[in-house]
Amino acid sequence: MINNMHLPASLMTSLSKINSFDRDAFVQVHESGEQVVSVRMNPLKRSMVNGEWSIGNDQSAKLNNQELIHHSPFTFHAPVPWSSNGYYLSERPLFTLDPLLHAGAYYVQEASSMFVEEAIKQTVDLSQPLLVLDLCAAPGGKSTLLQSVISKESLLVSNEVIQSRVNILKENITKWGADNVVVTNNDPSAFSKLSGLFDVLVIDAPCSGSGLFRRDPEAINEWSEANVELCSQRQQRILADAWPCLKEDGVLIYSTCSYSAEEDEEILDWLEERFEVEGLRLRVNDEWKIDEVQSASGAYGYRFWPNKVKGEGFFIVAFRKKETPSPLRIKIKKNQEPAKKDAAIAAQWMQIADAYSFVMQGQIIAAVPTAWHDMIQFLMQELKVRYAGIELGSIAKNDLLPEHALALSTNVNSKVVRVELTKEQALDYLRKNDLQLDHPHKGWALATYNGLGLGWMKLLGNRMNNYYPKEWRILMR
Ligand code: SAM
């Protein structure tokens, strides 16, 4: 718990200039110590126990999701009103000790930021196959959300500039188990040359973080006016670098978790001044208590105050690009494809292989949607691609050494032997212990929990070798 003495005085002074700011309520909500906990379900994985999670009636998708929650140590509270798959929980469980988290069945995400779903749904025709860039993506909250709202014919490029943060992004994308995501590790400037390539550009910008003060009081000590200024400059640089890669009539979604106008409304004015844009007005239900604001240039923005909404501080805006970018020639210089015979060996591990083509990611064969094969080859040539499609594995002695990502994908061949684990066994497996298992099969098997893949094991009679990635293992007892 904190008290108002700790909220930076200069922040409070600057916020009092914002019409919708209610100082007393803002201070009170920070003093209350109340924690809002929310998760977002993964629609790809919801229907994995004998085809469904629910007890098998005519429940809607939402109720199926609730049913999933009964399998977890959650107390379900209410749906997040602006999200199809988001739910508030009554209290924070020990997420680390829930195998479903590690199986990618859900993502723990702050509720306000789930509004990205509404922003994209209201401004983009999601029935089309789209190329979407999430430029500042680690650890992957917005990317996993975007993957769930775009069509399966679309492709998401999920980028993170900081190398040490790409690993957690890759881990979360892998757990999500989709086949239409590419993870890259590039500075925003690397996207300038990809002129007019993307239909949608999401920039969840690095910011001064005041919106998370309630959840993370430590962040208060790191806050300063100088840092707000630094963040504002950085946000402008990121936007300027990435702007050319957005198509004409493409949509930019910009968000921060900062309350400072320098990072929010003033960025909108900077964008309006510098580029040809159309600010997009979003529909917000009055009951959501989200504040619509207008910047000096008239652009609409959406502020989330924790004393009004059930969520943390957040700011979001959508623009349509009204400029014609210079033309881009997509020329693939070098194909990075596996030998046909190796691709055929790898394809046998997939339930559905028809709609896929194969690319090499180093030594690993990855299956990518055929419709995006050339684009992914192009991206591999132009960017530092760290992950693409479904990583299947590498070939050794005419056999596949399966990659962990294949275990987490929803496309493992049903002929692959599965070993369903109890919760205790699953946690033991996730700690990378070798379990005592009596099983007639010898060789590779998929460890599952509630029907969802957790990772690979090699069965050896009455014991097994555990192939769970060492760097992902649970350390908590
Ligand atoms: N979108 C993420 C999510 O929902 O999980 C959170 C993104 S966080 C607000 C901002 C990200 O921008 C961080 O991962 C940070 O490493 C990255 N970043 C920091 N400096 C950057 C820069 N100069 N250019 C681009 N991204 C940057």
**Model confidence over 13-47: pLDDT tens digits?**
999 999 889 999 999 999 998 899 999 999 998 64
Mark whether 257 is an active-site residue: yes
Contacts 24+ apart (CB under 8 A), 44-52: 44/104, 44/148, 44/176, 44/177, 44/178, 44/410, 45/103, 45/104, 45/105, 45/177, 45/410, 45/452, 46/105, 48/410, 48/450, 48/451, 48/452, 49/450, 49/451, 50/451
CA distance 206 to 408: 29
Q: How many helices (H) and strands (E) does the chain have?
A: 14, 22
How much distance in Å is there from the Cα of 203 to the middle of ligand 1? Answer: 8
- Which CATH entry fits the domain spanning 112-321: 3.30.43.10, 3.40.50.1580, 3.40.50.150, 2.60.120.200? 3.40.50.150
Domains 35-108 and 112-321 fall in the same CATH topology: no
Query: Considering only CA atoms, which residue is closest to atom 26 of ligand 1?
Result: 136
What is the mean pLDDT of the segment spanning 429-444? 94
CA distance 240 to 219: 28
Q: What is the mean pLDDT of the chain?
A: 92
User: Is there an atom of ligand 1 within 6 Å of 116 CB?
Assistant: no
User: Is there an atom of ligand 1 within 6 Å of 139 CB?
Assistant: yes
CA distance 86 to 40: 4
User: Is there an atom of ligand 1 within 6 Å of 289 CB?
Assistant: no
CA distance 262 to 170: 32
Q: Does the pLDDT value for residue 323 go beyond 90?
A: yes
Phi, psi at 316, each rounded to 5°: -145, 150
CA angle (312, 177, 43) in 5-degree steps: 60
8 Å CB contact between 210 and 11: yes
- The residue extents of the domains of the chain are 35-108, 112-321, 330-413, 417-477
How much distance in Å is there from the Cα of 135 to the middle of ligand 1? Answer: 8
Beta-strand (E) ranges in 102-260? 106-108, 131-134, 155-159, 181-184, 198-204, 246-256
Residue 68 banded pLDDT, cuts 50, 70, 90? low
SS3 state at 247 = strand
- Its CATH class, for the domain covering 417-477, is alpha beta
Percent of the chain having pLDDT more than 90?
A: 84
What is the mean pLDDT of the segment spanning 229-237? 98
Q: Is the pTM of this model over 0.75?
A: yes
Residue among 142, 149, 162 to mutate when testing ligand 1 (max atoms within 8 A of CB): 162
- Which atom of ligand 1 lies at the shortest distance from residue 257's CA? 9
What is the mean pLDDT of the segment spanning 243-247? 98
Residue 82 banded pLDDT, cuts 50, 70, 90? very high
Residue 477 banded pLDDT, cuts 50, 70, 90? confident
Q: Does the pLDDT value for residue 57 go beyond 50?
A: no
**Encoded tokens for 128:** 């089309």
Residue among 108, 136, 230 to mutate when testing ligand 1 (max atoms within 8 A of CB): 136
Q: Does the pLDDT value for residue 51 go beyond 80?
A: no
Whole-number pLDDT of residue 237:
98
Q: Is domain 35-108 given the CATH code 3.30.70 in the classification?
A: yes
Which uninterrupted H or E stretch holds 41?
A: strand 37-41
CA 267 to chain centre: 24
Among residues 101, 71, 243, 264, the alpha carbon closest in space to that of 175 is found at 101
What is the mean pLDDT of the segment spanning 96-104? 94
Distances (CA, A) of 107 to 146, 309, 348, 381: 12, 20, 30, 31
Which range, of 45-59, 227-241, 377-391, averages the lowest pLDDT? 45-59
CA distance 427 to 151: 33
User: Is there an atom of ligand 1 within 6 Å of 238 CB?
Assistant: yes
Whole-number pLDDT of residue 450:
86
Strand partners, 456: 446
8 Å CB contact between 210 and 258: yes
The better pLDDT of the pair 49, 407 is held by: 407
SS3 state at 39 = strand
What is the mean pLDDT of the segment spanning 296-317? 97
CA distance 85 to 391: 26
Instruction: List, for residues 371-412, the tens digit of each pLDDT value.
Output: 999 999 999 999 999 999 999 999 999 999 999 999 999 999
Query: Considering only CA atoms, which residue is closest to atom 10 of ligand 1?
Result: 206
Phi, psi at 154, each rounded to 5°: -95, 165
CA Rg value for the chain: 23
User: Is there an atom of ligand 1 within 6 Å of 230 CB?
Assistant: no
- Which atom of ligand 1 lies at the shortest distance from residue 169's CA? 5
Which of left, alpha, beta for 300 (phi over 0: left; psi -120 to 50: alpha)? beta
Q: Does the pLDDT value for residue 73 go beyond 80?
A: no
Q: Does the pLDDT value for residue 282 go beyond 80?
A: yes
What is the mean pLDDT of the segment spanning 180-194? 98
User: Is there an atom of ligand 1 within 6 Å of 86 CB?
Assistant: no
Residue 58 banded pLDDT, cuts 50, 70, 90? very low
